Amino acid sequence: ELKVEQNPLFLSMQEGKNYTIYCNYSTTSDRLYWYRQDPGKSLESLFVLLSNGAVKQEGRLMASLDTKARLSTLHITAAVHDLSATYFCAVDISGTYKYIFGTGTRLKVLA
């Protein structure tokens, strides 16, 4: 059974600080996605990572994928309050487009 675990589950950080969220998965996959979810809302696509070594950056967020280690990271640089949300990674099972979502990381950025 594919497991996708995120670490940490909860993160409270001060504005201006940096932090990394980790996403570990238990089976082979080279397609990984990061999403943001605000309370009561659906998912907002952040990054699509489709190969080993892929790195993508948008604003204060940067995501990377290491398929050999079965690990993806979401790095936050100089956090701002607007980044407060829940972040999910999702792994595509062998290119089937069936996404298995991680446990989620609830981020709170304190002003």
Partner 1 sequence: GAVVSQHPSRVICKSGTSVKIECRSLDFQATTMFWYRQFPKKSLMLMATSNEGSKATYEQGVEKDKFLINHASLTLSTLTVTSAHPEDSSFYICSAGQGNFEKLFFGSGTQLSVL
Q: Which residues bind partner 1 (CB under 8 A)?
A: 33, 35, 40-43, 45, 48, 50, 88, 90, 97-104, 106
Minimum gap (Å) between residue 86 Cβ and partner 1: 8
Nearest approach in angstroms of CB 39 to partner 1 is: 9
Q: Which CB atom, from 28 or from 45, has the smaller least distance to partner 1?
A: 45
Is the bond preceding residue 8 a cis peptide, omega within 30 degrees? yes
Q: C-alpha angle with apex 105: 14 to 20, nearest 5 degrees?
A: 55
Exposure string (b/e) for 55-72, b if CB count within 10 Å is 16 or more? eeeeeebbbbbebeebeb
CB of 83 to partner 1, least distance (A): 18
Closest distance of CB 69 from partner 1, Å: 22
If the CB atoms of residues 65 and 90 are measured against partner 1, the closer one turns out to be 90
Q: What is the DSSP letter of 28?
A: -
CA dihedral 52, 108, 4, 28 (to 10 degrees): 0
Which CB atom, from 77 or from 103, has the smaller least distance to partner 1?
103
Nearer to partner 1, 17 or 98 (CB): 98
- Provide the 10 A C-beta neighbour count for residue 15: 13
